[in-house]
Amino acid sequence: MTIPLWWQNGVIYQIYPKSFQDTTGSGTGDLRGVTQRLDYLQRLGVDAIWLTPFYISPQVDNGYDVANYTAIDPTYGTLDDFDELVAQAKARGIRIILDMVFNHTSTQHAWFREALNKESPYRQFYIWRDGTPDVCPNNWQSKFGGSGSAWRWHSQNGGSAWRWHSQSEQYYLHLFAPEQADLNWENPAVRAELKKVCEFWADRGVDGLRLDVVNLIAKDQDFPDDPTGDGRRFYTDGPRAHTFLREMNRDVFTPRNLMTVGEMSSTTLENCQQYAALSGDELSMTFNFHHLKVDYPNGEKWTLAKPDYVALKALFRHWQQGMHNVAWNALFWCNHDQPRIVSRFGDEGEYRVPAAKMLAMALHGMQGTPYIYQGEEIGMTNPHFTRITDYRDVESHNMFAALRAAGRDPDELLAILASKSRDNSRTPMQWDNGKNAGFTQGEPWISLCDNYTEVNVAAALRDENSVFYTYQKLIALRKTQPVLIWGDYQDLLPDSPSVWCYRRQWQGQALLVVANLSDQCQEWHPPHIKGQWQALLHNYGEVASQPAAMTLRPFEAIWWLQR
């Protein structure tokens, strides 16, 4: 039998430290807060925790504008606090994964400040091009600007990805905010410095790295205009992306035994088959986001739309089958940039608990490494803020301002934000029904979700039928059922908009997963199957031991195992 690597049968828990646990009364979470909650994470059973950035940063983009890769922002604590977190986590069998933002740095980073001098060797750490104050080097658009006429903000050049520096009379490239200058990966000195960053954290006991938008690091060096788009075709999965990652893998990832997961922006299956190949030449696994755009009609995020579940299943089928025996998937429903999944694809009212369980069971039955975002395991929901002043996210504020200027109704925009804003997942973790949900004794940096008195960790732990215990079982099953790790994927009802039914098979073992995606009862007739089965997991309680025609209750989900 093939012995899986720890991350192939493991489950990873994502922590957004700012909203996880505050120990100082500042209203902002910190590293000591993470340490304080390790017993809870051990009880859940996760194998590793991924921490989003806690480095020194001006916080233009919530820490993804890094000003020092090896120093901790005092808001979050100290290196001693980090070392204690690592030690306490390892004592509980929990590994540590850090977020590395290597496509760009903050313009407050020492490298960039030096780069403002044309004679400095650090000038070549960034991407500078000639132009005039009124004419950019090309027509590439910032990802924080967009291509629509209503999305012109954040730069004196509208949505341009270029920023003019008057003193040196050149532009620098920023695919994101102007305060996030893109690094020049063509420069070997840049790659050498980034390897040192990885070594620094590996020396402190880190087990893995999540690499932010890492498929954007290799730009077409001709920097051509894009006649039909926003420029992404010339830097997404760019000319030397695979070459750069193979070098990083050879020089630091493999020698330091670092698990790596790459966040892939607008990528393709074919590229991810290379990035996350089982040969291990580049990365361990990849995130892709295609399945989280099934409620973006015609690619438009800022609108209200129901998810297309036939498209959702087709996307999972494409990636499950395309990566099988070739490369490794990362499985996830939500993160710090996505709304709460039970609000998005489930139900917040009467069926919140079965819907949250169903979504977990549908995802965790597939091949890949599941990621759980903090609060997902108790069924946390979107907060449904009603005022623009409730939001802290720069993207949300700029969307609201730009679309208001374009004449859109403010109530409509607030409804869209309540559904789509990144802040929906950034409200504080709900630990109990006490003051500020047990998150802080001070004033929270962002408001809590009002339902914390009912939806919280303490209540979940008291209820043996809570969402928490379903997640706990799912995590444990990955250690005992090889079909979850190695099995193939067959979509048995690809055209149903309401029922998801798939089968996994491996060496005589089979798993059958059925999930009702709707809040209505659905008739289900099992496919032609043979042999003896046992009910392995169910989100409503008891169920027939053999798959048989049945009426699925709202959001009902069942796992059957055949040996």
Catalytic residues: 212, 263
Contacts of the segment 296-303: beta carbons below 8 A, 24+ positions apart: 301/420, 302/399, 302/403, 302/413, 302/416, 302/420, 303/416
SS3 letters for 120-156?
Answer: CHHHHHECEECCECCECCCCCECCCCCCCCCCCCCCC
Q: How far is Cα 525 from Cα 58, in angstroms, rounded to an integer? A: 56
Residue with tokens 């000319």: 239
Q: Are 176 and 118 in contact (CB under 8 A)?
A: no
* Six token digits for residue 28: 């902002």
Nearest partner of 124 among 196, 179, 193, judged by Cα? 193
528 by Cβ neighbours in 10 Å (0-12 / 13-18 / 19+) ranks as exposed
Residue 545 β-bridge partners: none
Q: Are 144 and 154 in contact (CB under 8 A)?
A: yes
Q: How far is Cα 283 from Cα 258, in angstroms, rounded to an integer? A: 9
Q: How far is Cα 144 from Cα 236, in angstroms, rounded to an integer? A: 16
314, containing H or E segment = helix 309-323
Nearest partner of 371 among 232, 526, 259, judged by Cα? 259
Residue 135 β-bridge partners: 132
- Residue 49: phi and psi, rounded to 5, are -120, 135
Q: How far is Cα 530 from Cα 524, in angstroms, rounded to an integer? A: 17
Count of other CB atoms within 10 angstroms of residue 370: 24
Q: How far is Cα 251 from Cα 540, in angstroms, rounded to an integer? A: 50
Dihedral (CA of 192, 196, 198, 203) sign: positive
Count of other CB atoms within 10 angstroms of residue 305: 15
541 by Cβ neighbours in 10 Å (0-12 / 13-18 / 19+) ranks as exposed
Nearest partner of 186 among 199, 173, 202, judged by Cα? 173
- Residue 529: phi and psi, rounded to 5, are -130, 150
* Torsion angle of C-alpha atoms 58, 60, 61, 64, degrees rounded to 10: -30
Q: Using DSSP bridges, classify how beta strands 557-562 and 95-100 pair: parallel, antiparallel or unpaired.
A: unpaired
Q: How far is Cα 309 from Cα 319, in angstroms, rounded to an integer? A: 15
